[in-house]
Amino acid sequence: MTPFQYARANDVADAIKQIATDPSAKFIAGGTNLIDLIKYDVEEPTRLIDISHLPLRSIEQTSTGGVLIGAMVPNTDLAYHPIIEQRYPLLARAIMSGASQQLRNMASTGGNLLQRTRCFYFYDTATPCNKREPGSGCSAIDGINRINAVLGTSQACIATHPSDMCVALAALEATVHVAGPAGARTIAFADFHRLPGNTPQRDTNLEPDEIITAIELPPKGFSANYSYLKIRDRLSYAFALVSVAAALELDGDTIKEARLALGGVAHKPWRSSAAEAALLGQRAEATAFARAADWLLHGAKGYGHNDFKIGLARRAIVRTLGQAARGTPQSLSDKKIR
Amino acid sequence: MASYIGSATSRVDGRPKVTGEARYAGEFNVPGLVHGYVIESTIPKGRIVRIDTSGALGVDGVIDVLTHQSRPPMADKDNAYKDEVAPEEGSPYRPLYDDRILFTGQPVALVLAEDWETARVAASMVKVEYQKEPHVTDLHAERSRAFAIDAPEKPRGDAAKAFASAAVRHAAEYFIPTEHHNPMELFASTAIWEDGRLTVYDKTQGVQNVQKYLCGVFKMKPDEVRVMSPYMGGGFGAGLRPQYQVVLAVLGASALKRPVRVMLTRAQMYALGYRPASIERLALGASSGGTLESVQHEAIAVTSQFEEFARNDTGWGNLLYRSPNAKFEHRLVKLDLPTSCDMRAPGAATGVYALECAMDELAIALKTDPVQLRLQCYSERHQGEDVPYTSKQLRECYRQGAAEFGWDRRNAEPRSMREGSELVGWGMASGVWEALQMPATVRIVLTANGHAEVATAASDIGTGTYTIMAQVAADMLGLPIDSISVKLGDSTLPQCPLEGGSWIASSVCNAIANTARAVRGDLLELAKEMKDSPLAGVGVDDVALIDGKIASKRDATRAVPIASAMQSGNAERITREEANKVDEDKSHARNVHSAIFAEVKVDEELGVIRVTRVVNAVAAGRILNPKTAHSQVMGGVVWGIGMALHEETLFDHHFGRVMNANIAEYHVPVNADIHDIKVIFVEEPDEIVNPLGIKGLGEIGIVGVAAAIANAVYHATGKRVRDLPITLDKVIQFE
């Protein structure tokens, strides 16, 4: 562990100013991941800038019919917010699938996007890891990789992004609002997280001196036909082996619009426009779902222990699309998968 | 007065525990306390070349960094390090002793600072340079190096020949991975020097074991060392042997002449002991009528390079099933790891898992109901010793467990039962453990105000020892339970063995009975000396202590209040110390038994497993407290579910490291994984096992549970998974 100084940011401008003057500083909000990483000597900030008091805690309807979620809204508050429960239940279910009640109470919306991989080697400073120490090598490729990625991997890194919330945000095509020294900008959710390539140390396209201020949801919430299915090694409080966010707009039993995103399989929530296009105009039934699954998993590659994820994902996609089409989303309390 | 024994008494230590009044080893604060942070080896094998402590010593608040070169003196003979439960063969690990690295996570330095955070920060500045040597940590890769030990039970007949000629045969290998105890409470020790004497607050299941060990390691006299462990947040076997942090705390306190606390992190606890990974090979041969002709059980388990730890994995078939021919083998593989150790039901949790899965497979081969097969093979005598049991109500466990579960509605055909998307499976297994007693001494101090203090050096590791001792003492002394206080966890108290092996309840409660009898004798003498004593001419076994009186058993009107007897004799207190009588009689086998029935529901496409019902019917002699007993067995079932579906310490054998050394990634069941658990205690009066008929419950709850679940998964899916844990990718071949 490295000693660090602690400072509180008064407002967004102050936060940006503080982070810009100190390249080894880090923002801290809920700290549900960062504090662990500091204890493991994985993150070594010399200064923590506390942004948890910034006035970014509102959830508001936008003039265009969407919803703007402040970056400091705790995960729990977001999941239980009436607008989210009613109009974006896919997001509510995804959030409630993650972590534990205590962690969700602490974790912020913005911080959820920035949580780091759970790859075993990333956390263990006695082993090489390109994400932690660029150029040192990837221990997971030939190591214990049951939890690692099967899509969008590189020679340098097979880590996954661990979030559940982000899988739903990807499917809903949210927009990330950020602010930095050069002003505010927005990043489409699909462009926010990166694939590892040769720079696995960079999880996102957020610049080091930028801060997430809000997440914007577009008007469409797919509240009639959606499901979030998370498959894991125990029935709660475990990261996804594979998770699926599915959202459909149906005309009778014909698919008018489809959204499909996978968690637990890649360095970012995994989507494929071809997979979603393959569903358009199709009858909402298993053969169409299986074709979409094939598209979504195109190019998937296992590394030994995690080979099963490809077949598991294929079946989970079909199942989740079925739940969405029937209007019977996966229950969180009853762990039976219907 | 109602009897406390057998009543569902709430824990007498419940209130201090939930209010935080109960203090644990890492919570004893004394002025000037120094905090130690352990630096562990990052390599599994080799030597320390150099330790650069200069950076750490420069940190404000750091007092010292101890290494093998700078530590105070320690004993240099193996014997000094052999604690009560050290394996017979080998050289115990010596913490911070020399430059040799024996396993990853071994302590190589101790940073001592004014506060824990400073020590932790400074620890990351200590640079350790190693000279690596090739290491081995993989049991499967090294199994050809396995060597036999002579622990197993003796062979009978010609098991190989009988197997070869058996009408129906089943042979298979089962695997249980390395598992860690993961008690909630972190291991910690606080060492305090005072006037040349050492007091240590330690997380341990045996204060006197640690006390003797420290006397050996630091060459001190018994009256110079006192070890305390009043409460423990879970031990499960991890606290049987003295753990390294207690040595480091004493080294630190000796070096600085100040009190020192060393608390381990969760990750560091993965370099303590563990349940050894084991490969279990079963070969069962049966007649076409479904009786066993041959039982062969071979275990290959992990130990360290420097000690040979082994428990009875293979002999359980001798207790459960009749067979004229049997053969048992236990082999060890030495790996560059810490020494494996006891973990709840050591040997049985693993060995009975394999045996009971194999019996299920044999039942399928015989087309016989699994309960029926067990009844056909039921043994009324210990097969190895050829002696009867003091009591064995296992048949009744099968009967009551099956009835409660509804076993008769089972369709034997795999994949025949389903509910929507889920396949339903029903499986069962037997459980067995030993009913042991060890020598223990209990002191009772009865004061004239009607209060009694009951004391022994046992630790209550969370099982309810405080409570059952208070119950038994209250009944034996004829006092209300509120008038009893129980003192435990202090090495200066009367002798008591480690809290392990399920032997504490039988040992200390029978000792209470003997001590109470002595107290009763003293009271009777006092009562007889009273003028016109109604108890004149009555013997000690003709009176009882009831409702605060000493009274004739035959004529309750002949009674003297305890307080009056003591006052008239001018006795302010009566102090007595007696031991239990440990029967060396070999004419009976002493065991507890259980039958476990489990229901699983498995998603047919995705392989997600839910354990929706478990019934565990236990025959374990006299149940002292149905409430704590129920919790004890329920906890065992939960752990068995974890063993079946979740638990596995993941090693990267290239680095020789544990990769999931935290409870986010080392999975144990969470609430969502636990549904209905029904615990049944089958009546089992036993006047032979010990005077009070107590058998102990610590281990039996977990034994057989994983097998029942594995058998249920097979019944549900038709897929036999023999390697634990049963994860969804083992149930379904995903393409």
- What is d(CA A335, CA A312) in angstroms, rounded to the nearest whole number? 17
Which single residue is written with the structure tokens 């389903």? B418
- The first and second tokens of residue B213, run together, are 């060990």
Which single residue is written with the structure tokens 């996609």? A317
**What is the pLDDT at residue B150?**
83
Q: Is the pLDDT of residue B12 over 60?
A: yes
Report the residue from A3, A120, A314 with minimal CB separation from B121.
Answer: A3
Find out whether B193 and B257 touch, Cβ atoms under 8 Å: yes
Catalytic residue among B280, B293, B684, B699: B699
- What is d(CA A300, CA B73) in angstroms, rounded to the nearest whole number? 59
* Contact (CB<8Å) B729/A126: no
**Set of chain B residues whose Cβ sits within 8 Å of the Cβ of A314:** 734
Q: Is the pLDDT of residue B735 over 90?
A: no
**Set of chain B residues whose Cβ sits within 8 Å of the Cβ of A3:** 121
The DSSP call for residue B508 is: H
Find out whether A120 and B665 touch, Cβ atoms under 8 Å: yes
Report the residue from B123, B646, B732 with minimal CB separation from A234.
Answer: B646
- What is d(CA B681, CA B223) in angstroms, rounded to the nearest whole number? 44
- The first and second tokens of residue B87, run together, are 């394996």
Distance from CA of residue B356 to its chain's centroid?
A: 21
B536 and chain A in contact, CB less than 8 A? no
Q: Is the pLDDT of residue A9 over 90?
A: yes
Closest approach of B264 to chain A, Cα-based (Å): 13
In three-state secondary structure terms, A33 is coil
B719 and chain A in contact, CB less than 8 A? no
Domains of chain B in start order, with CATH, are 18-134+184-234+239-271 (3.90.1170.50), 278-436+586-731 (3.30.365.10), 438-579 (3.30.365.10)
Report the residue from A120, A234, A336 with minimal CB separation from B659.
Answer: A120
**Set of chain A residues whose Cβ sits within 8 Å of the Cβ of B124:** 1-2, 41
- The first and second tokens of residue A142, run together, are 């030939």
Closest approach of B274 to chain A, Cα-based (Å): 20
**What is the pLDDT at residue A2?**
85
* Contact (CB<8Å) A315/B124: no
Q: Choose from A234, A303, A320, A334 for mutation: most chain B CBs within 10 A.
A: A234
- What is d(CA A31, CA A37) in angstroms, rounded to the nearest whole number? 10
B158 and chain A in contact, CB less than 8 A? no
- One DSSP character per residue, B347-410 reads THHHHHHHHHHHHHHHHHHHT--HHHHHHHTB-SEETTTTEEBS---HHHHHHHHHHHHTGGG-
Report the residue from B120, B421, B734 with minimal CB separation from A337.
Answer: B421
**Set of chain B residues whose Cβ sits within 8 Å of the Cβ of A330:** none
In three-state secondary structure terms, A11 is coil
Q: Choose from B121, B613, B659 for mutation: most chain A CBs within 10 A.
A: B659
Percent of chain B with pLDDT strictly greater than 90:
99
Find out whether A313 and A262 touch, Cβ atoms under 8 Å: yes
Domains of chain A in start order, with CATH, are 5-50 (3.30.43.10), 226-326 (3.30.390.50)
Phi-psi region of B355 (alpha: psi -120 to 50; beta: other; left: phi over 0): alpha
The tens digit of pLDDT for each residue in A238-270 reads 999 999 999 999 999 999 999 999 999 999 999
The DSSP call for residue A59 is: E
**Set of chain B residues whose Cβ sits within 8 Å of the Cβ of A308:** 728-729, 734
- The first and second tokens of residue B26, run together, are 């890492």
**Set of chain A residues whose Cβ sits within 8 Å of the Cβ of B606:** 231, 312, 315-316, 319, 337
Phi then psi for B614, rounded to 5 degrees? Answer: -135, 130
B659 and chain A in contact, CB less than 8 A? yes
- CA neighbor of B261 nearest in space, from B202, B196, B195: B202
Phi-psi region of A304 (alpha: psi -120 to 50; beta: other; left: phi over 0): left
- Minimum CA–CA partner of B59 in chain A: A3
**Taking CA A298 as the corner, what is the angle to CA A297 and CA A300, rounded to the nearest 5 degrees?**
65
Q: How many CB pairs under 8 A join A and B?
A: 103
Instruction: Tell me the average pLDDT across B461-487.
Output: 97
Is B699 part of the annotated catalytic residue set?
Answer: yes
Which single residue is written with the structure tokens 């099963």? A308
In three-state secondary structure terms, B62 is strand
Which amino acid is residue B207, in one-letter code?
V
| SS3 per-residue string spanning B428-473 | EEEEEEECCCCCCEEEEEEECCCEEEEECCCCCCCCCHHHHHHHHH
The tens digit of pLDDT for each residue in B673-710 reads 999 999 999 999 999 999 999 999 999 999 999 999 99
- The first and second tokens of residue B637, run together, are 């079932």
* Contact (CB<8Å) B650/A237: no
**What is the pLDDT at residue B590?**
97
In three-state secondary structure terms, A50 is strand
* Contact (CB<8Å) B422/A336: yes
Please tell me the number of Cα atoms within 13 Å of A335 on its side-chain side: 26
β-pair partners for B46: B101, B132
- What is d(CA A113, CA A193) in angstroms, rounded to the nearest whole number? 8
* Contact (CB<8Å) A143/B659: yes
The pLDDT mean for chain B works out to 97
In three-state secondary structure terms, A42 is coil
* Contact (CB<8Å) A231/B650: no
Q: Please report which helix (H) or strand (E) contains residue A95, including its range.
A: helix A89-96
| Helix and strand element counts for chain B (H, E) | 18, 31
* Contact (CB<8Å) A236/B645: no
- Minimum CA–CA partner of A97 in chain B: B672
Q: Please report which helix (H) or strand (E) contains residue B238, including its range.
A: none
- Categorize the per-residue pLDDT at B2 as very low, low, confident or very high, splitting at 50, 70 and 90: low
The tens digit of pLDDT for each residue in A147-180 reads 999 999 999 999 999 999 999 999 999 999 999 9
- What is d(CA B304, CA B427) in angstroms, rounded to the nearest whole number? 35
Rounded to the nearest 10°, the torsion over CA B368, B371, B377, B380 is -160
Q: Choose from B732, B734, B735 for mutation: most chain A CBs within 10 A.
A: B734
Q: Is the pLDDT of residue B198 over 90?
A: yes
The tens digit of pLDDT for each residue in B313-344 reads 999 999 999 999 999 999 999 999 999 999 99
**What is the pLDDT at residue A107?**
98
B729 and chain A in contact, CB less than 8 A? yes
Q: Is the pLDDT of residue B1 over 70?
A: no
Q: Is the pLDDT of residue B640 over 80?
A: yes
Angle between helices B626-645 and B705-717 (to 10 degrees): 50
Q: For chain B, how long is the longest CA-to-CA vector?
A: 92
Find out whether B290 and B127 touch, Cβ atoms under 8 Å: no
* Contact (CB<8Å) B667/A233: yes
Distance from CA of residue A223 to its chain's centroid?
A: 20
